[in-house]
Structure 1
Amino acid sequence: MQQKRSVFHDGERAVQARAEVSGELLKRVESFVRSEMPLQHRHFFENLQMLFLGLLDSGGRPWCVPALGPQGFLVSPTPDTLEIHRDPILSCELGLDRSPGASVGVLGIDLISRRRNRMNGRIQRALTGAMSIRVDQSFGNCPQYIQTRQLSPGKDAPKAVSRRRGSITDPEVRRIIEAADTFFIASRAAGSLDGGSAGIDASHRGGRPGFLGINGDGTLSFPDFSGNRFFNTLGNIESDGRVGLFVPDFETGEAIVLTGRASIDWDPDRIKSFEGAERIVDVVPEEIWHASAALPALGPVSEQWPGLSATGTWNDARLAEPDQKQ
């Protein structure tokens, strides 16, 4: 009898094992991952005004970019199909692969209700202003670490004005990164992607302003807090290491968009210095863009995630010793 294929690839299972996720919990977790979208997920996507996508460039590097539009720009005609009737921001400038069969990670997020759902799939077809995705995996996420913000009804995406940045030390880059309480991350598995658990993932990260840090050597670091135990992002980092970050300034509509290589630090001394962290992720940026109008300006946080009081910042961590990252 043919053995059922796991919804997790080797990298994800390796991180789950190191994090001591029990077999019983993994069985429950696997049951949450479906091969098509349930009706409530389809309705959720169709009511969104903002979607985040993980896509690869011609060199196989992942980038995380948003697609935005008024309610109705996302359509799910069947349980295994999602149509996006807008082009992702910066997709042409970054040379993102939207050819038929290309893998894509999808994160739908409602910043008002803190609801989010994820989907991994493959592109069926893409034209200017439209793209159709066939579902490989669909699953929901908990509301943890999401800061609420208001998104004006019917607001369309602004025209992205962007320019390439050569250094993480640029003042505008540093300002946006060091003030961020939210960012989005795309990651990929190693080797030839075949969708599903060996595809691309798009995910959300939230914390107190200052939880995404810039180190003296130009690398970035962020804590990995307790989550759903899927370890999709960390599993991809374990497997391949290439990631893309989208770091928004919701008050101005600006964003920093970068791609680079990530690694997981399990050092207990370093971890315990950052309150709430279970692991630390370090990112070496390879290419950085500044988009001066990537999102509608949403204004300040309406409400922080209540659990943030039990988490730290890089200033709190005081990792300034020469042998440390900060």
Structure 2
Amino acid sequence: MDRYHRGSLAVQERVGVRELADHVGRSIGSGIRDVAAAFLAGQPHLVAGAADGDGRMWASMLTGPPGFVRAEGRDRITVAGGLPDGDPLAGALATAGTRVGTIALDPRTRRRMRLGGTLEVTAGGFAVGAERVFSNCPKYLQKRQPLELVAEGPGILWRGPALTPGQVRAVRAADTFFIATEAGAQETDASHRGGMPGFVEVLSPTELVWPDYPGNAMFLTLGNLVADDRAGLLFPHWESGALLQLSGRARTEFGAAGERRVRFTVEAVVEGLHPGRLRWSAPEYSPANPPVHRGSTTR
């Protein structure tokens, strides 16, 4: 199995971590181990990333009782249910052949697992063939506890081409978001970014920037952006269960001393309160979170 495509390899070379990336990349497999299957079975939500029918990248969150995501053998997961009408990924996650990246992240334990593959439609939801499976370290994950399941929800509240003032405030206050990327039609990925509130800077209603903190040296997200600059962001409001979804274009800026940051241009915004959402406690911030600095990388 080719663990990295040329986009990830190019970033690894530029940052000088090719040897480390080769070592870490041994954790990427195509099979679901027993410990991963047990982890999935205990999760109340799953983040999925994919392109919609118009080719825009989006990330969204599916929620259900533990067990709604299950491993079937070593090469397939099943997901019961789907997304409500109006979610920008509702159609893609009901279409066979969609390339999907998923991440299961447990705020209770600071554990996370990523799985990517091709979607199959099932009688009760969908399945994803396990083509790339691996876990990440707990860096930059905030710890939270579930509080309440909210059965009802109005669904999609707002759509537009740019952030509203209230959405700008929500992004600036965020300590977590998810990012969906794709390397052409080959590899779709959903990943996590975390930090102290303010680590995502809003330069305007259509432009965001955030630092790329040191991680596992794989550079799967940044590598995908080398090949394809489309990206989808998901900002969950943990305390209310609201979802803020952005679709647009992203590029990496490399600065001095190995610093990196990603600049994102907003093209479409969706805000919603899905039925069946979870409300979570206030965070216990990760001890790995760096202090927030502004403008430390060349624009």
TM-score scaled by length of structure 2: 0.91
Give the alignment partner of residue 311 of structure 1, picking from 291, 295, 298: 291
Amino acid at match of 1:185: I
The SS at the match of 1:307 is coil
The equivalent of 2:27 in structure 1 is 32
Corresponding residue number in structure 2 for 1:104:
100
Residue in structure 2 matched with residue 296 of structure 1 by the alignment:
278
Deviation for aligned residue 1:167: 4.8
Match of 1:222 in 2: 210
Structure 1 unmatched ranges of 5 or more: none
Deviation at 1:7, TM superposition (A): 1.2
| Partner AA of 1:287 in structure 2 | A
CA-to-partner distance for each residue in 1:222-276, whole Å, 9 max, x for gaps? 11000011111111111101000001111222221010000001132xxx7xxxx
Q: 1:134 to 1:156 in 2, by over 3 A?
A: farther
Cα shift readout 1:2-27 (whole Å, capped 9, x = no counterpart): xxx5211111111111111133x233
User: How far off its partner does 1:311 sit?
Assistant: 2.8
2:58 is the alignment partner of 1:77: no
Secondary structure at the residue paired with 1:146? Answer: coil
SS at structure 1 position matched to 2:92: coil
Q: CA deviation at 1:152?
A: 4.1
Alignment CA distance shift 1:89-1:262 (3 Å): farther
Which stretch of structure 1 is more off in the superposition, 140-149 or 289-298? 289-298
What is the alpha-carbon distance in structure 2 between the residues aligned to residue 91 and residue 134 of structure 1? Answer: 25
Aligned-partner Cα distance in 1 for 2:13–2:91 = 33
| Alpha-carbon RMSD | 2.2
Alignment of 1:201-220 (within 5 A): 201-216=189-204, 218-220=206-208
Percent identical residues: 31
Task: Quote the Cα distance in structure 1 between the aligned partners of 2:84 and 2:151.
Answer: 9
User: Could you list the per-position Cα deviations for residues 24-77 of structure 1 after superposition, in whole angstroms to 9, with x for gaps in the alignment?
Assistant: x23322211111111111111011001100121012221100110111111212
CA distance in 2, matches of 1:145, 1:204: 9
- Structure showing greater radius of gyration is 1
Of 158, 180, 189, the residue aligned with 1:186 is 180
Distance 2:13 2:84 in 1: 37
Q: Report if the CA contact (8 A) 1:55-1:96 is conserved.
A: no
Aligned to 2:263: 282
- The 5 A counterparts of 1:128-147 are 129-147=124-142
Q: C-alpha distance in 2, partners of 1:169/1:91?
A: 18
On the 8 A contact 2:162/2:205 being kept in 1, the answer is no
Q: Counterpart of 1:37 in 2: which secondary structure?
A: coil
| Alignment partner, residue 60 of structure 1 | 55
In structure 1, distance between residues paired with 2:4 and 2:211: 22
Q: How does 1:108-127 map to 2 (within 5 A)?
A: 108-127=104-123
Q: Whole-Å Cα distance in 2 between the matches of residues 91 and 80 of structure 1?
A: 30
Consecutive aligned runs of 4 or more in structure 1 exceeding 6 Å deviation: none
Q: Cα 1:90–1:55, aligned 2, differ >3 Å: closer, same or farther?
A: farther
The answer to whether the aligner puts 1:165 opposite 2:134 as a matched pair is no
1:260 aligns with 2:237: no
Deviation at 1:132, TM superposition (A): 1.0
Unaligned runs of 5+ in 2: none
SS of alignment partner, residue 31 of structure 2: coil
CA spacing shift, 1:123–1:215, aligned 2, 3 Å: same
Residue 168 of structure 1 deviates from its aligned partner by 3.4
* Cα distance in structure 1, aligned partners of 2:86 and 2:72: 24
8 Å CA contact retained: 2:147, 2:279: no
Question: How far 1:290 sits from its partner (Å)?
Answer: 1.3
Amino acid at match of 1:84: V
